[in-house]
């Protein structure tokens, strides 16, 4: 049976501890778009994510890698985030992710991929040797039935992963 094991799992993208990533010599972050950085079909970043992305860009190169087929939507999301964005990425295929690595001018060991879907975001990251971070989707209750079904199915294939790189790490000395 196929077992996907994200490197790390966090609840929300803003829970990722950027200092830990810097200590791991990470130089770039590749994000999924819908349900990772913004609620699907909204074109609007939540304020907390917009502010967090501004902090991210101080120390990391970033890119958006989306399977969303709407070029204008994805490109506008990239412009709002201040980064390059790729639509119709075809994840888990590697072609668009390889292009993102090339455009960021980084090696796979310097990049983390972050997304909400194990069979697309995490799998493409694993295929390229990237650190992978699985996040909970921003919006769960409003998803169509087929997406909810696939999310449940995907979770069957996930092996337990470490919960690291979070701001609220249980081992932060607050015992």
Domain range summary for the chain, segments of one domain joined by +: 8-156
18, 55 in Cβ contact below 8 A? yes
pLDDT value at 168 more than 60? no
Q: pLDDT of 25-72, one tens digit each?
A: 999 999 999 999 999 889 999 999 999 999 999 999 999 999 999 999
pTM of the model: 0.82
Specify the CATH number of the domain 8-156. Answer: 3.40.50.1000
Angle made by CA atoms 82, 42, 136, in degrees to the nearest 5: 85
Q: Which of 121, 144, 145 is nearest to 133 (CA)?
A: 121
The Cα-based distances of 53 to 5, 97, 140, 157, 158 in angstroms read 26, 20, 22, 30, 27
pLDDT value at 175 more than 50? no
Q: Torsion angle of alpha carbons 137, 142, 148, 150, nearest 10°? A: -60
Q: Both tokens of residue 140?
A: 């769960």
């Amino acid at each position: 049976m196929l077992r996907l094991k994200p490197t790390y799992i966090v609840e929300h993208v803003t829970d990722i501890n950027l200092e830990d990533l810097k200590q791991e010599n990470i130089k770039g972050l590749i994000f999924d778009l819908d349900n990772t950085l913004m609620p699907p079909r909204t074109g609007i970043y939540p304020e907390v994510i917009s502010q967090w992305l501004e902090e991210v860009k101080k120390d990391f190169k970033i890119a958006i890698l989306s399977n969303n087929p709407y070029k204008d939507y994805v490109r506008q999301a990239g412009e709002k985030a201040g980064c390059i964005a790729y639509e119709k990425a075809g994840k888990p295929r590697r072609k668009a992710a390889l292009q993102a690595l090339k455009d960021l001018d980084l090696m796979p060991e310097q990049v983390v991929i972050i997304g909400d879907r194990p069979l697309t975001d995490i799998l493409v990251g694993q295929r390229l040797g990237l650190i992978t971070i699985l996040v909970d989707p921003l919006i769960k209750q409003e998803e169509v039935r087929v997406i909810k079904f696939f999310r449940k199915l995907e979770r069957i294939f996930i092996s337990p992963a470490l919960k690291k790189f979070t701001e609220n790490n249980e081992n932060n000395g607050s015992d």
